[in-house]
Amino acid sequence: MKKFLDSPATLLDTSLRGFAKAHADIVDLHTEPNYVCRKQNKPGKVALISGGGSGHEPLHSGFVGYGMLDAACPGQIFTSPTPDQMLAAAQMVNTGAGVLFIVKNYAGDVMNFEMAAEMLDCPNATVVVNDDISLPKNHSIGRRGVAGTTIVEKIVGAGAEAGLDLAACQALGERVVGNTASMGVALTSCTVPALGHPTFAIADDEMEIGVGIHGERGRETGKIAPATEIVAQVAGHIIDELAPSAGQSILLHVNGFGGTPLVELHLLYELAWQFLSGRGLHVQRSLVGNFTTSLDMAGCSLTVTLLDDELRQLWDAPVNTAALRWGC
């Protein structure tokens, strides 16, 4: 294993200190317990809080700031944050309008956020993101929350910034979740520092279709194919899931898992744009880059969100975070 670190045990704390210093104009870092919060709270605004295991950066800490999250709770690598982190963050950023938790659908995340919500002495609500269509709808643990989480956090963040109340922010988040589907493909596994070796083995001529973001294997292993065929397979599953009508406006998000260069991600975007446009869909908005990563995994996911005028306007609204920034 070759990684830039002194010790797996100190990786997260040192990284968080570096992140906070690099973006000191946007965020503050609190320790014992760890959470990142927005530099300046906006009185009377619904506070948005998310979090999860580290290793997915810039999700979630990179999305703290104007127009997105008010706080993010980072757990250890691929490990859920604890309820005390979530509670402390919520108490810090709540300004009287209540707290909305945005939670990826993993058992540990859901359980710990539920515990924090029960302990929190202010109005609160939760949106659970389950955009990964690699798993069937009736899967025992439900569908996982993956790259669509970025879309939810951006759109709901804009709604909260515009003054929507807690119930409206929750309803907006649930609408975005219902309009969003994602699926990922990996060419390599990832290496968790504390483990020291890849989480699964994959041959040089193979790919994993339907991977998670914690080093989980996909729903099937296949021989690597030309990019056009990979995109057609993944985008085809997404379209089958969402069943959009002809002429539907969409947001297309091509997300890298941490080890795929932008030249390949933009190639995939072009191929996905061609595929979706060829099926009568109007790609109105886009996001390309490494936003929901899996450490050093080579691979990508495609995410499609069905847009209407309101969702498009909220996506376009100004945002100022470490990882997303426009209109400010």
Q: Any idea which residues carry the catalytic annotation?
A: 56, 214
Q: Give the pair of three-digit tokens for residue 243.
A: 């069943």
φ and ψ at 201, to 5 degrees?
Answer: -95, 140
Q: Are 68 and 27 in contact (CB under 8 A)?
A: no
Contact 34, 16 (CB under 8 A): yes
- Cβ–Cβ contacts within 10 Å for residue 18, how many? 11
In the β-sheet with 99-104, what is the strand arrangement from edge to edge?
A: 27-30, 35-38, 71-77, 47-54, 99-104, 124-129
Please, what's the b/e burial string for 265-286 (b: 16 or more CB within 10 A of its CB; e: otherwise)?
beebbebbbebbeeeebebebe
CA–CA distance, 285 with 171 (Å, rounded to integer): 22
